[in-house]
Amino acid sequence: MKIKDVVLSKGLTGFYFDDQKAIRRGGNFVENGLAYDGEPLTPGGFTSIRQAGGESVSVQLILENGAGGLRRLRGRSIFRRGRA
């Protein structure tokens, strides 16, 4: 089986990042459901204590027989969808 085409697309995940320094120190924030109200403590990058930012890359291989297989890459995880 030969690869006829490759389709690449970027996306977002439901993953979020926490400023662990701010959370471990405690006291300077209020837990508000899924968010933390307060100032981040880790310099360079955090704009809030909990922020969305998970990204993904989808790689779909189109095979010569028309079948497609989707590989979704997120950080170190690989989720397999479809059949190739």
How far, in Å, CA of 52 to CA of 7, rounded? 26
- CA 26 vs CA 2, 20, 45, 51, 82: distances in Å: 55, 10, 20, 17, 44
What domains does the chain contain, in order, with CATH numbers? 3-82 (3.30.390.10)
Give 49-84 pLDDT, tens digit per residue: 888 777 888 888 888 887 776 555 554 444 444 443
**pLDDT for residue 77:** 41
Assign 3-class secondary structure to 6-64.
EEEEEEECCCEEECHHHHHHCCCEEEECCEEEECCCCCCCCCCCEEECCEEEEEEEEEC
Give 5-53 pLDDT, tens digit per residue: 888 998 888 878 888 888 888 777 888 888 888 888 888 878 888 887 7
